[in-house]
Amino acid sequence: SDLQREVEHGELLQPLIFILLVSGSVLLYFKVSLMDPGFVKSDEEAEAGKSEEHSWVTAQVPSNIKMRRCGYCMLKQPMRAKHCQLCQHCVRRYDHHCPWIGNCVGERNHPLFIVYLSVQLVVLLWGGQVAWSGLHFEQSWDWLQHNIVLLTSFLLIVIFTIIVLLLLISHLYLISSNTTTWEFMSHHRISYLRHSELENPFDQGVVLNLWRFFC
């Protein structure tokens, strides 16, 4: 492959960058999967965080929508929070439970989750290019025997690249409209959305939505 040829010629810059990107994606994976996604831990903490939650709420949310008590952990849920039965916790600004990282994506780790997906996509695209550069197709059984691992790796990289790309695009679209995956999928079942005059009462424009999410 291209990276192998560069190593053999003593050109180590690109191989080192590739290794750093792979290492960075692994570290981001563990960071996102192990960190607190924004668990609601007590009534006192929920009240203390109410002012922070208010920054995500606009005047179009009906005033009669009150904080409700979770039927599972019996804590008062801030608006946009949801109980995750897999994590056994209520999560602030709940987006979804990701089986790949084994953790919820919520208020605290959602921005880092987007960074992780972005780095992972770069690694997959580069890895796909590296695998492709090592394939020189020949119509023979011997060629297939010697290249089966590399060919399988390339096909797997293509599949994962498509998955990560679609996931990243969908998340960026939802972030740009200040909507979570849970709110998008369950709009008709969420009280503060069902009773709102607007389809999305949290949308404050693409620029401000992105700024508040990432900054």
Active-site residues, by number, are: 98
Please say whether the beta carbons of 38 and 95 come within 8 A. no
CA distance 12 to 180: 42
Please say whether the beta carbons of 90 and 75 come within 8 A. yes
C-alpha to C-alpha distances, 190 to 6, 47, 155, 185, nearest whole angstrom: 55, 21, 40, 10
Please say whether the beta carbons of 33 and 108 come within 8 A. no
